[in-house]
Amino acid sequence: MTEPEFHNLLHRYLAGQCTPEEQALVEHWYDRLEEADGQILPAHKPAEVEQAIWARLMQHRHPTEPAARVVAMWPSTPWRWAAVLALLAVSLGLLVLATSRLRAPVPPNQVAAATTWQLRTNSTRQILNFRLPDSSRISLHPGSSLRYRTALTGPRREVHLEGEAFFQVSKNPQRPFLVFTKQVVTTVLGTSFRVKAYAADKDASVAVREGKVAVQARQGAQLDASPARPAARGVVLLPNQQVVYSAAHQRLKKELVDRPVVLAPQPLEFEARPVADVLGALEKAYGVEIKYDTAKLADCTVSITFYDEPLFEKLGLLCKSLGAYYTLSDATILLHSNGCQGQSGT
């Protein structure tokens, strides 16, 4: 082991960046060092370095004992690398052996499995909750699997889903989070959303709980696209919106989710209030767009109180009181009315 390699190993150990094998290696080396009563830490502030190593070792071995027991045991005299290497040769033969074993060639398939990709499969009947290396939280549904790089390294955080999962992605504007299915690619910077794309289904869907999400077809996807710069043929989703990809038509259709949730609670008790006020409150509460003929409803008032009904049930009650009806167009609600019906209220 050369001097730079020695420095690098200790530096990564102190930073908590060693592999389990390297960590065991350093701890074994430290034990041998105690046995030999040697001092072979780097020349740059050896007392502080030794103190840090000792604290980490004590925390690892006796996590309930305070680290304040650490006492510096290294003299302040300068170190000479000739003595260091000599002591390494005598007392740390196992270090060289273990290092060579760490560097031994590994079959490519084992390298890919151990250091490149991690596969989580939910073979239970319950939702499996876990965290990714970037602290993003995943709720993996039964019969689903998620594949991701062990450290989510690179300019993009990429995962591959088969089945259904709810994602709560930690925010990182510099490193977009991409979910690949066989049908679509979903890109976020940090938000929560659901993706459903089972292997037996030709279609896929993405629904947003909060934030903003960009979705595009998998084939020919622009991997540098984002919610701020969506792909030309992609769609951007907001809360309570979803997109369904049709494999038969090879297109994305944006719509409201089946059961929109309240995003910003509003007072929903109205007494002889303009219909525009009622519709405006529903728009704010659910983050939806409701279009209607303002001229026809300009002089209409209504008395109505909403409780815990789903949004579409609320709209049904309102339409009943107005003699109107509503339809959906993409993610927009269209209210159709011929004007006031000579009465108000429910």
Task: Give the per-residue pLDDT at 325.
Answer: 96
Does this model's pTM top 0.75? My answer is: no
CATH 3.55.50.30 holds for 269-336: yes
Task: Give the per-residue pLDDT at 53.
Answer: 54
CATH (residue range 111-256): 2.60.120.1440
Task: Give the per-residue pLDDT at 304.
Answer: 96
Task: Give the per-residue pLDDT at 125.
Answer: 94
Spatial distance between the Cα atoms of 156 and 98, rounded to a whole number of angstroms: 34
Q: What is the pLDDT of residues 171-193, one digit of tens each?
A: 998 899 999 999 999 999 989 99
Task: Give the per-residue pLDDT at 318.
Answer: 96
Nearest to 325 by CA among 344, 343, 310, 338: 338
Spatial distance between the Cα atoms of 62 and 87, rounded to a whole number of angstroms: 28
Give strand pairing partners of 197.
163
Task: Give the per-residue pLDDT at 121.
Answer: 96
Neighbours of 21 (CB within 10 A): 11
Question: Contact 119/161 with Cβ under 8 angstroms?
Answer: no
Residues of the chain with pLDDT under 70: 1-7, 10-11, 13-16, 20-21, 23-24, 26-115, 341-346
Question: Contact 315/260 with Cβ under 8 angstroms?
Answer: no
Task: Give the per-residue pLDDT at 71.
Answer: 34
Sequence spans of domains, the chain: 3-104, 111-256, 269-336
